[in-house]
């Protein structure tokens, strides 16, 4: 069965945190659906790259995907966090036991949605300040997997983030090793 990843895009998203995992997961056969959080399908990232999304948030539901992915970047993360539709989708994804993944600053969205409580979370080092006020443990690891929640530290760990998502989607260690060896060489 083909798996689907819904990648939420907001103006100011970190391009590599969306594109690198999308590329690696696509190579494994995962269907990638870039989803704008507004009615504008053209989204400009933090470095000025434009992506035309496949759909908009008002046209999707949790039945449409296996994993929800939130790239970081600023102001992309704050735009995600400030969207009632995004918070609702994250909460519904948790309720429906979907895999929820966030990288860099995007774990603050998980915090605000209330799905990080009791979890081990990593992300951009500034995210640690939120753990003191909330009920999650900030580890600072490159990648953290706690149940259906996957978080990663930053852009330089986007490939490890993708590999953790692939594993959660049911891909074998051999599939992931083969992908890594065919895309990353010494």
Q: Give the catalytic positions in this structure.
A: 104
Helices (H), the chain: 15-27, 76-81, 84-95, 107-113, 128-133, 158-168, 173-183
For residue 90, give the 3-state DSSP assignment: helix
Q: Do residues 116 and 136 lie in contact, with contact meaning Cβ atoms separated by under 8 Å?
A: yes
The 3-state DSSP class for residue 121 equals strand
Per the rule left: phi > 0, alpha: psi between -120 and 50, beta: everything else, 69 is beta
Separation of alpha carbons 8 and 83, rounded Å: 11
């Amino acid at each position: 069965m083909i798996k689907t990843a819904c990648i939420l895009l907001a103006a100011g998203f970190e391009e590599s945190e969306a594109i690198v995992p999308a590329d690696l997961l696509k190579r494994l056969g995962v269907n990638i659906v870039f989803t704008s959080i507004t009615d504008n399908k053209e989204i400009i990232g933090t470095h000025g790259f434009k992506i035309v999304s496949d759909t908009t948030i008002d046209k999707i539901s949790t039945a449409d995907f296996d994993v929800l992915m939130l790239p970081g970047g600023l102001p992309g993360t704050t735009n995600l966090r400030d969207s009632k539709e995004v918070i609702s989708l994250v909460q519904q994804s948790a309720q429906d036991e979907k895999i929820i993944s966030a990288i860099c600053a995007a774990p603050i969205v998980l915090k605000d949605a209330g799905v990080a409580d009791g979890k081990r979370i990593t992300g951009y080092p500034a995210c640690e300040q939120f753990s003191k006020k909330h009920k999650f443990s900030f580890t600072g690891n490159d990648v953290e997997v706690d149940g259906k929640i996957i978080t990663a530290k930053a852009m330089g760990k986007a490939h490890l983030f993708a590999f953790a998502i692939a594993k959660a989607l049911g891909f074998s260690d051999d599939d992931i090793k083969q992908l890594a060896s065919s895309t990353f060489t010494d």
